[in-house]
Chain A
Amino acid sequence: MVLISALFKQNRSWILGYSLGTSLYLFFLAAVFPSIQETGLIEGKLDSLPPELLEVFKIDPNLAMDNVINLLAGNYYGLIFYVLAILFALTFASRLMAKPVDSGEVMLYLAAPISRSGYVTSSMVLLVIASGMLVGLNGLSLMLANVLFDLQIDIGLLWALQLNAGLILVVLGALAYVLASLFDDSTRSYMVTGGIFALFLMANVFSGFSDQLDWLNTLSIFSLFDANAQIQGESALRSFIWLGGLLIVAMLLSYGRFTRKDLTI
């Protein structure tokens, strides 16, 4: 518990940065939604865009923009969220594994009677807290906007999306953590992890260019968060199971790797 609170204190600035930044963005988007809906600006804009571009940004042209969640499905819960999730995971792994091990800062904790598995567990708890704060504050900001601007948001759907988004953050963070533990050099680990996540993103983007490239989407972890499908009533259970499985694998690999790793700090 002491370690978790110490790690949180040391990392709260970036966690709050991501959480508050995205929540403010969502709140203001929700606040202006009624007025831009009245002008019909969104439909006009979407009609003018080529279908491939809509696909890249995960905007379903058949989805009526009569609700802020429908707008967010393409605006926020698509490419923006994927990039955000990559940056979030890289920051987490860099601050909790790559940089502290590379610089030797982790010795502050490892000189104490704390096992390495205890450090991994605390890191994972912090990841869950950080992801929970991000998606939780995002959800709360939309609920506040819903109350203030009468947006008719489907609260059940909103929190199902937040849960899916949170799971993506946790899984990406855990994968980045494992990859960071493979290297002693933080720059190299940052580049390799960033490169792999960029491939996920590219697979997701390129899959939208043509039907023949649809298969690419299955290679990407981001295929496990499809906001448009959820809005249209598809169950996210399969995604949750996959994400849960990936999380368990990533966590086991983290424990296995870090508890056996030689640390030259």
Chain B
Amino acid sequence: MIQLKGLTKRFDASHGIFDVSFTVEPGTVFGFIGPNGAGKSTTIRHLMGLLHAESGVATVMGHDCWNESETVKALVGYLPGEINYPQDMTGEDVIRLTRKLHVTSAERERTLRDVFAFDTSLKVRKMSKGMKQKLAIVTCFMKDVPVYILDEPTSGLDPLMQERFVDWVIAEKTAGKAVLMSSHHFPEMEKTCDRAALIRDGRMIIEAEMSELKRHSQKTYRIELKDEAAAMRLSEEIGSRDGVVVTVTLSTVEELNDLIHRLARHEVQSLSSGTDELEHLFIQYYGEAK
């Protein structure tokens, strides 16, 4: 469905994207993860025919994204990272125009308006970030197309709307759509993505199944024990101590089971996990570069 092969675009010696390759299959969600300025939006702009690659190809359902951009755009629902609708238009104006410019489904529009409800009579200039994001989500998914490209789709949404968005994306995936999603919101990526790639300084540093990525990620646990003596005993076996709290970082299931066995010998007051697995992986890889 979406295929990138050796995509390269050099803005200067160190900026751009270099040899980016991945494939997004039908019925899957592909997560595109990276810090700000890593090249996520640049890659997505190639898919939307906004940038011309120096080398490599980007195709959607076999159509070249630069030479056949009209065909590609008819097959793609796009949610941009920066929502910049004309300020004087109302939400209703934008939806009406979307209906005219794209082939949309009235039924999908009705459902989307219910799920992501907001005041469409407001002018864009008066809308909050969250409202603009909901408007962008509605106009993107009004198109019943085989491919969706979503750049930071939940930015500005409240937790309830984020949850609804996740449900919507999962439903699209189940319906056989191919979804490419770039995001910094790791919980939604973990819930929706089947595969993910991490990009840094314009270069892909890892691409794998989500389960594989999770397996490779480290996870931090914060264990609070009853007294300092117990904490000291545990920290001598595993982890590091700060008062009655012991922090343990694990990478494998075996290590996790080993920790559980050890903890059974102690009186644990509380146990909490740190960052999400994907977020930890992100920090792990990005931290290496710092």
Chain A residues packing against B (C-beta within 8 Å): 2-3, 6, 10, 100, 103-105, 107-115, 260, 262-265
Nearest opposing residue in chain B for A107, CB measure: B80
Contacting pair B51 A6 (CB below 8 A): no
B229 interfacial contact with A, CB 8 Å: no
Q: Which of B4-56 contact A (CB under 8 A)?
A: 42, 45, 48-52
Nearest opposing residue in chain A for B82, CB measure: A104
Nearest opposing residue in chain B for A265, CB measure: B50
B111 interfacial contact with A, CB 8 Å: no
> How distant is the Cα of A113 from the Cα of B73 in the complex, in angstroms?
5
Question: Given A104-B84, A107-B80, A6 and B73 touching (CB < 8 A)?
Answer: no
> How distant is the Cα of A227 from the Cα of B189 in the complex, in angstroms?
67
> How distant is the Cα of A189 from the Cα of B19 in the complex, in angstroms?
33
Segment from B85-93, B163-171, B173-181 that makes contact with A: B85-93
Contacting pair B50 A6 (CB below 8 A): no
User: Using Cβ atoms and an 8 Å threshold, which residues of chain B touch A265?
Assistant: 45, 50, 80, 82, 84
B70 interfacial contact with A, CB 8 Å: yes
Contacting pair B101 A10 (CB below 8 A): no
Q: Which of B42, B71, B84, B97 contacts A107 (CB 8 A)?
A: B84
Please name 9 further chain A to chain B contacts, defined as beta carbons within 8 Å, in addition to the given A262-B52, A263-B45, A265-B82, sorted by A numbering.
A2-B101, A6-B101, A103-B84, A104-B80, A104-B84, A108-B85, A108-B86, A110-B73, A112-B73
Contacting pair A263 B69 (CB below 8 A): no
Q: Which of A108, A113, A263 contacts B74 (CB 8 A)?
A: A113
Nearest opposing residue in chain A for B86, CB measure: A105
Minimum Cβ distance to chain A for residue B39 (Å): 12
User: Using Cβ atoms and an 8 Å threshold, which residues of chain B touch A2?
Assistant: 100-101
Contacting pair B86 A10 (CB below 8 A): yes
Nearest opposing residue in chain B for A263, CB measure: B50
Nearest opposing residue in chain B for A260, CB measure: B52
Minimum Cβ distance to chain B for residue A184 (Å): 12
Q: Which of B48, B70, B89 contacts A114 (CB 8 A)?
A: B70
User: Using Cβ atoms and an 8 Å threshold, which residues of chain B touch A113?
Assistant: 70-71, 73-74, 101-102
- Interface residues of B, count at CB 8 A: 26
Minimum Cβ distance to chain B for residue A103 (Å): 5
Minimum Cβ distance to chain B for residue A19 (Å): 19
B248 interfacial contact with A, CB 8 Å: no
User: Using Cβ atoms and an 8 Å threshold, which residues of chain A touch B282?
Assistant: none
Chain B residues packing against A (C-beta within 8 Å): 42, 45, 48-52, 69-71, 73-74, 78, 80, 82, 84-86, 88-89, 94, 97-98, 100-102
Contacting pair A264 B51 (CB below 8 A): yes
User: Using Cβ atoms and an 8 Å threshold, which residues of chain B touch A105?
Assistant: 84-86
> How distant is the Cα of A261 from the Cα of B200 in the complex, in angstroms?
26
User: Using Cβ atoms and an 8 Å threshold, which residues of chain A touch B102?
Assistant: 112-113
Contacting pair A10 B80 (CB below 8 A): no
Nearest opposing residue in chain B for A118, CB measure: B70
Contacting pair B52 A10 (CB below 8 A): no
Q: Which of A107, A108, A263 contacts B51 (CB 8 A)?
A: A263
Contacting pair B70 A262 (CB below 8 A): no
Minimum Cβ distance to chain B for residue A1 (Å): 10
Q: Which of B80, B82, B100 contacts A111 (CB 8 A)?
A: B80
Contacting pair A264 B50 (CB below 8 A): yes
Minimum Cβ distance to chain B for residue A126 (Å): 15
> How distant is the Cα of A111 from the Cα of B71 in the complex, in angstroms?
11
Nearest opposing residue in chain A for B75, CB measure: A113
> How distant is the Cα of A115 from the Cα of B94 in the complex, in angstroms?
20
User: Using Cβ atoms and an 8 Å threshold, which residues of chain A touch B88?
Assistant: 10
> How distant is the Cα of A114 from the Cα of B98 in the complex, in angstroms?
12
Q: Which of B51, B52, B70, B80 contacts A115 (CB 8 A)?
A: B70
User: Using Cβ atoms and an 8 Å threshold, which residues of chain A touch B78?
Assistant: 111
Q: Which of B51, B71, B89, B101 contacts A3 (CB 8 A)?
A: B101
User: Using Cβ atoms and an 8 Å threshold, which residues of chain A touch B52?
Assistant: 260, 262
Minimum Cβ distance to chain B for residue A118 (Å): 8
> How distant is the Cα of A108 from the Cα of B80 in the complex, in angstroms?
10
Provide 16 A-B residue pairs closer than 8 Å at the C-beta atoms, listed in order of the A residue.
Answer: A6-B97, A105-B86, A108-B86, A108-B94, A110-B48, A110-B49, A111-B80, A112-B73, A113-B74, A113-B101, A262-B51, A264-B42, A264-B50, A265-B45, A265-B80, A265-B84
Q: Which 8 A-B pairs have the closest CB atoms?
A: A104-B84, A112-B101, A113-B74, A263-B50, A113-B73, A2-B100, A111-B78, A113-B70
> How distant is the Cα of A86 from the Cα of B41 in the complex, in angstroms?
37
Minimum Cβ distance to chain A for residue B143 (Å): 9
Minimum Cβ distance to chain A for residue B147 (Å): 13
Minimum Cβ distance to chain A for residue B86 (Å): 5
User: Using Cβ atoms and an 8 Å threshold, which residues of chain A touch B98?
Assistant: 112
> How distant is the Cα of A3 from the Cα of B78 in the complex, in angstroms?
18
Nearest opposing residue in chain B for A13, CB measure: B88
